Chains A and B, each alone.
Chain A
């Protein structure tokens, strides 16, 4: 090997077809990533109270939804295609601290108040309960 190797020396090894392969490979990855990672985009928040569907809200419209439960009222916020439980009477606040749900299959559950929000739509890749 030469004593000093410049990056240019390596780049000279690329033949025209190699550039083509690189380009095609990069393109494939971009398309693949788009397809795989955006396939899970959700469009609907399914809100359940005591096991029954309370409401199905589209994520396209920003809104606050108040859901009654045995302990009190849980507030679900939908904003910019995401949803979260913004307030809940449960003592440990697990569902509130779970934060924003973005992808299809994600779910936040407030067990004490028996309220849950699940995102659906798109290609459901996995659901966080069974995963």
Chain B
């Protein structure tokens, strides 16, 4: 059976009408890429859970370990796959922790969207000079910027939160660097596609 649309469907599902019989059934068309994305998102989710067990000195300061996966997926499968993994992780993570559509969810979402936008730009930097560490740092800064905007516009509309920016920015630089290094090191050690090595 051919899919209902011309371009390959990723994680979408097509409803198929088998001819004259009104015998419609729903079938999930999954591509190999879907499976890769799902696996990567699952690993990212695992890291999110792990990270939530680590106590944080300041609410909102988290290492963002799941972004290691986003960086690897970005380097291996491109931006679209990275965006899928990142957003799936945000949504599934919020379901897991029970804060779907709660403020924390929107903070994660806006952070993720801003980092993805930043990654879309930074991935065009010359690869010889700029590696995962650069992407990670830039994405981390974009992440806190996105979160601060939500915090300011919605949660705490007070300029006093600007006082906290240095803390968040420092955390972003440190954790961005560390995550980038881990991602780079992982890809160096593992020249085979990451998915084969994990399955």
Contact = CB atoms under 8 A, between A and B. Distances in A.
Interface of A: 1-2, 5, 9-10, 13-18, 20-22, 25-26, 28-29, 32-33, 36-37, 125-126, 131
Contact of A14 (B126, B131, B138, B160): B131
A18 B162 contact: no
Given A17-B126, A21-B138, 16 more contacts: A13-B133, A13-B185, A14-B181, A15-B129, A17-B131, A28-B169, A29-B173, A32-B165, A32-B166, A32-B169, A33-B169, A36-B162, A36-B165, A37-B163, A126-B159, A131-B160
B189 A36 contact: no
B20 interface: no
Contact of B162 (A15, A17, A125): A125
Interface string B118-138: 000000011011111110011
B196 interface: no
Contacts of B170: 29
Q: Interface of chain A, helix or strand or loop or mixed?
A: helix
Q: Interface of chain B, helix or strand or loop or mixed?
A: helix
Contacts of B180: 13, 18
Interface string B37-63: 000000000000000000000000000
27 contacts: A1-B186, A2-B189, A9-B185, A13-B188, A14-B133, A16-B129, A17-B125, A17-B130, A18-B131, A18-B133, A18-B137, A21-B134, A21-B138, A22-B137, A25-B173, A28-B169, A29-B166, A29-B170, A29-B173, A32-B166, A32-B169, A33-B169, A37-B163, A125-B160, A125-B163, A126-B159, A131-B158
